[in-house]
């Protein structure tokens, strides 16, 4: 499965031309945690917390009729599902943190902030997007045992030809690898975190062991 962040650009043109809409989508693999992390599966049952509000999140910025909208929520959710499903023996998803008997720990990834800046002239658009992500681990009762955050910055420039500007609904590709790397770093830190390893050990679970 492949997925990506989607950007929708709207450039207000002369009345005779109308509005220009281009979709720029990223593309990266999310088929298994081993692709992104390279860690052995943890023989534990995990709960992944992804709120409905966060999954629908969009962030945008505009200047002089040029608008960029980053559909962060849906892709962030898909990325975390892919990593968690490859990292743990079993994963269920819920909307908010709550005691989860029958499972070993709870993970809550969050988009803390996204700031998009756009600059451009008629035939070129430059955008910079800053993002902060966090990951918190709870025990099965909902008590926090570890949390961390990471930042990402992505810069891009899109050149528009006259032919492209005169047409609508064009599709191009933009790679937000910086965001993927930031989320990956959080799970890397989680995997080697002493509080997390100590908690799992108290349950008789050791990271790196093969699930029976």
What is the pLDDT, as a whole number, of residue 147?
98
Tokens of 161: 């030809």
- pLDDT tens for 44-97 read 999 999 999 999 888 777 666 666 677 788 888 888 998 898 889 899 999 999
pLDDT band for 210, please (50, 70, 90 cuts).
very low
User: Which is it for strands 105-121 and 42-49: parallel, antiparallel or unpaired?
Assistant: parallel
Three-class SS state of 208: coil
Query: What average pLDDT does the structure give for the chain?
Result: 74
Which pLDDT tens digit goes with each residue over 95-108?
A: 999 999 999 999 99
Instruction: Mean pLDDT check: name the lowest of 41-55, 101-115, 177-191.
Output: 177-191
pLDDT at 78: 85
Distance CA 12, CA 120 (A): 12
Cα separation of 157 and 159, whole Å?
7
Cβ-proximal residues to 84 (8 Å cutoff; 6+ apart), any chain: 33, 46, 48, 91, 107
The sheet that has 59-63: what strands, in order across it?
A: 59-63, 66-70, 6-12, 19-25, 170-173
The closest of 136, 148, 149, 77 to 105, measured between CA atoms, is 136
> Please, which pLDDT band fits residue 17 given cuts at 50, 70 and 90?
very low
Model-level pTM? 0.76
Task: Provide DSSP, 2-15.
Answer: EE--EEEEEEE--T
Per-residue confidence at 117, pLDDT binned at 50, 70, 90?
confident
Confidence check: pLDDT of 153 > 60 = yes
């Amino acid at each position: 499965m492949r997925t990506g962040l989607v950007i929708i650009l709207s450039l207000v043109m002369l009345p005779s031309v109308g509005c220009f809409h281009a979709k720029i989508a990223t593309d990266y693999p999310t088929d298994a945690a081993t692709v992104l992390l390279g860690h052995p599966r943890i023989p534990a049952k995990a709960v992944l917390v992804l709120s409905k509000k966060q999954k629908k999140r969009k962030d945008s910025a505009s200047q002089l009729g040029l608008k960029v909208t980053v559909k962060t929520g849906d892709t962030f959710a898909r990325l975390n599902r892919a990593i968690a499903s490859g990292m743990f023996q079993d994963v269920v998803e819920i909307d908010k943190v709550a005691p989860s008997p029958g499972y070993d720990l709870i993970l809550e990834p969050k988009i803390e902030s996204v700031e998009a800046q756009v600059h451009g002239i008629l035939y070129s658009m430059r955008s910079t997007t800053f993002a902060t992500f966090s990951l918190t681990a709870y025990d099965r009762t909902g008590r926090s045992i570890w949390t961390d955050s990471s930042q990402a910055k992505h810069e891009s420039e899109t050149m528009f030809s006259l032919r492209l500007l005169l047409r609508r609904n064009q599709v191009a590709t933009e790679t937000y690898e910086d965001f993927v790397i930031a989320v990956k770093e959080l799970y890397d830190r989680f995997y080697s975190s002493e509080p997390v390893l100590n908690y799992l050990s108290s349950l008789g679970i050791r990271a790196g062991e093969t699930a029976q």
